[in-house]
């Protein structure tokens, strides 16, 4: 009995240490891992070919444009974004301007385009402003995040909540659809300052030109968007907050893409057959390499110059990752670009950050939710403010014919609600000594 008490005390102390440690550091992301039940609901679970076929069918129908007209490759999925901005209960607080949100969405669209993802986000011009201290910067657990996502939502859009901070000290949290609800939401934190560290407030005018900080923010934006479109961390372990490197033999995603799980690993839902580790474990996608967790055991990352490095100099000391190999003794070779990994935020913005199967997962989710509408959105959105005006070089070929559309205002129940709040801003630049002309046209 005494041994048991000692053991329990030790476990309790360990928990205390863990909790107090966790509160000091900032976590990359607060999104929960999949449960087995959720995973089994995904049509590609154990069948990645489903995704490859889906991507072929969706991308195969794209309009490729032609040589004479402007090469416009329209996205198959035009996803409206409903921005929710949270102020303190008394209405004060540091919050982003509409044009800032548009500029972030435009950056996210550039990343999607660079990765051949046939999704374009555009912001509904009716931004949803609300006051509540808790949601401004006080959310402290999963129940709090769920309450936030349920409190304000547009069922026809991707819901993005802009918060100042949280007691969970996370950069962002995504909520998977088809698990909790039939809509898609994520939250992102605008003040990324770690207590005692340098100012990392994304809204501080002094930080606007801090490329690393701004890129890190966009990296979080697209990462959380990935969760909201059903994607998992590349280092995920089903039903566990452990890292892939720490998973047991049945639950680990191995480096070898042809690795078959042992016969007794029947949790996968299949008693027979050759179950590929990469289809059942990790993010359950075989075209993303097995990932030990790029923050395994450290607050920094096992990443240098967007490359995985199992040995780093931290604080003048050479440190090696705790589990450098999988259970078969093969060195990890994770991607330090993948947007669903814990790589440095800016690395997520490059070509090669989103794989074909990850595209497929997002397409399947958007298609299933029905949040992409065939509305008249031009390819120059988001341009509702002069600070995000689209730029036109006069006299350049190919000429551009900008057709103004009626509006891209709010939508309710899948029907466009004409509010006339859309504006199209264009900056015409002329290559002469004359002044630049700025035109504002409101339809």
Question: Of the ranges 15-23, 24-32, 175-183, 401-409, which one interacts with Zn ion (CB under 5 A)?
Answer: 24-32
Which of 11, 31, 93, 384 is close enough to bind Zn ion by CB under 5 A? 31
User: Is residue 390 within 8 Å of residue 380, measured between CB atoms?
Assistant: yes
Residue 33 vs 297, nearer CB to Zn ion: 33
Query: What does DSSP say about strands 311-314 and 317-320: parallel, antiparallel, or unpaired?
Result: antiparallel
CB of 227 to Zn ion, least distance (A): 5
Question: Of the ranges 27-35, 185-193, 250-258, 369-377, which one interacts with Zn ion (CB under 5 A)?
Answer: 27-35
- Measured between alpha carbons, how far is 260 from 274 in angstroms, rounded to an integer? 6
Question: Of the ranges 25-33, 42-50, 51-59, 129-137, which one interacts with Zn ion (CB under 5 A)?
Answer: 25-33
Which residue has tokens 């814990």? 342
- Considering CB under 5 A, how many residues would be counted as binding Zn ion? 2
Q: How many CB atoms lie within 10 A of CB 264?
A: 8
Nearest C-alpha neighbor of 105 from the set 132, 127, 136, 86: 127
- Measured between alpha carbons, how far is 48 from 279 in angstroms, rounded to an integer? 7
ω into residue 283 within 30 of 0, thus cis? no
- The residue nearest Zn ion at its CB is 29
Residue 34 vs 99, nearer CB to Zn ion: 34
Residue 165 vs 345, nearer CB to Zn ion: 345
Residue 75 vs 341, nearer CB to Zn ion: 341
- Measured between alpha carbons, how far is 285 from 51 in angstroms, rounded to an integer? 9
Residues 6+ apart with CB under 8 A from 17: none
CB of 30 to Zn ion, least distance (A): 8
Residues 6+ apart with CB under 8 A from 276: 257, 258, 259, 260, 261, 286
Residue 32 vs 372, nearer CB to Zn ion: 32
CB of 387 to Zn ion, least distance (A): 29
Query: What does DSSP say about strands 415-417 and 410-412: parallel, antiparallel, or unpaired?
Result: antiparallel
CB of 257 to Zn ion, least distance (A): 23
Residues 150-209 contacting Zn ion, CB under 5 A: none
- Measured between alpha carbons, how far is 226 from 121 in angstroms, rounded to an integer? 13
Question: Of the ranges 28-36, 88-96, 119-127, 142-150, which one interacts with Zn ion (CB under 5 A)?
Answer: 28-36
DSSP codes joined into one string, 99-119? HHHHHHHHHHHHHHHHTT--E
CB of 233 to Zn ion, least distance (A): 5
Residue 281 vs 407, nearer CB to Zn ion: 281
CB of 221 to Zn ion, least distance (A): 12
Nearest C-alpha neighbor of 407 from the set 439, 441, 440, 443: 443
Residues 6+ apart with CB under 8 A from 186: 158, 159, 160, 161, 172, 173, 174, 175, 224, 225, 227, 228
Residue 98 vs 215, nearer CB to Zn ion: 215
CB of 292 to Zn ion, least distance (A): 16
Residue 283 vs 381, nearer CB to Zn ion: 283
CB of 95 to Zn ion, least distance (A): 23
CB of 293 to Zn ion, least distance (A): 11
- Measured between alpha carbons, how far is 78 from 376 in angstroms, rounded to an integer? 10
Residues 372-431 contacting Zn ion, CB under 5 A: none
DSSP bridge pairs for 163: 189
Which residue has tokens 């939710």? 369
Residue 232 vs 382, nearer CB to Zn ion: 232
Residues 268-297 contacting Zn ion, CB under 5 A: none
Residue 34 vs 380, nearer CB to Zn ion: 34
User: Is residue 124 within 8 Å of residue 373, measured between CB atoms?
Assistant: no
Q: Please give the helix or strand (H or E) that residue 8 lies within, else none.
A: helix 2-24
CB of 172 to Zn ion, least distance (A): 7
Residue 31 vs 277, nearer CB to Zn ion: 31
CB of 107 to Zn ion, least distance (A): 18
Which of 29, 81, 158, 337 is close enough to bind Zn ion by CB under 5 A? 29
Interface ranges with Zn ion (CB under 5 A): 29, 31
């Amino acid at each position: 009995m005494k041994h048991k008490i000692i053991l329990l005390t030790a476990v309790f102390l360990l928990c205390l240490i863990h909790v107090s440690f966790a509160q000091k550091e900032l976590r990359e992301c607060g999104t929960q891992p999949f449960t087995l039940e959720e995973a089994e609901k995904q049509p590609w679970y154990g069948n990645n070919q489903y995704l490859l076929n889906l991507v072929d069918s969706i991308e195969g129908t794209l309009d490729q444009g032609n040589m004479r007209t402007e090469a416009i490759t329209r996205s198959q999925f035009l996803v409206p974004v409903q921005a929710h901005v949270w102020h303190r209960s008394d209405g004060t607080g540091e919050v982003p301007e509409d044009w800032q949100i548009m500029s972030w969405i435009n950056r996210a669209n550039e990343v999607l385009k660079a990765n051949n993802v046939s999704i374009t986000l555009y912001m509904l011009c009716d931004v949803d402003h609300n006051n509540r201290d808790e949601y401004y910067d006080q959310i402290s657990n999963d129940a709090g995040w769920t309450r936030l996502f349920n409190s304000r939502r547009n069922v026809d859009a991707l819901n993005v909540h802009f918060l100042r901070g949280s007691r969970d000290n996370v950069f962002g949290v995504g909520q998977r659809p088809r698990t909790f609800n039939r809509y898609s939401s994520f939250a992102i934190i605008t003040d990324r300052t770690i207590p005692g560290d340098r100012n990392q407030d994304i809204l501080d005018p002094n930080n606007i030109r801090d490329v690393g900080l701004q890129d890190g923010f966009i990296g979080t934006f697209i990462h959380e968007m990935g969760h909201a479109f059903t994607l998992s961390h590349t280092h995920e372990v089903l039903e566990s907050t452990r890292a892939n490197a720490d998973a047991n033999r049945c639950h680990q995603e191995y480096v070898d893409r042809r690795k078959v799980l042992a016969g007794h690993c029947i949790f996968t839902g299949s008693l027979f057959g050759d179950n590929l580790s990469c289809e059942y474990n990790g993010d359950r996608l075989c075209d993303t390499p097995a990932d030990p967790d790029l923050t395994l055991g450290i607050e920094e990352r096992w990443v240098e110059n967007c490359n995985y490095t199992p040995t780093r100099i931290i604080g003048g000391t050479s440190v090696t990752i705790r589990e450098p190999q999988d259970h078969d003794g093969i060195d990890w070779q994770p991607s330090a670009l993948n947007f669903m990994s814990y790589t440095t935020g800016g690395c997520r913005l490059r070509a090669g950050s989103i794989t074909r199967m990850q595209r497929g997962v997002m397409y399947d989710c958007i298609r299933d939710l029905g949040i992409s509408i065939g509305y008249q959105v031009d390819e120059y959105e988001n341009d509702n403010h002069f600070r995000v005006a689209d730029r036109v070089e006069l006299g350049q070929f190919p000429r551009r014919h900008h057709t103004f559309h009626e509006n891209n205002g709010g939508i309710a129940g899948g029907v466009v609600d004409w509010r006339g709040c859309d504006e199209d801003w264009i900056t015409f630049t002329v290559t002469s000594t004359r002044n630049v002309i700025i035109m504002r046209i409101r339809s």
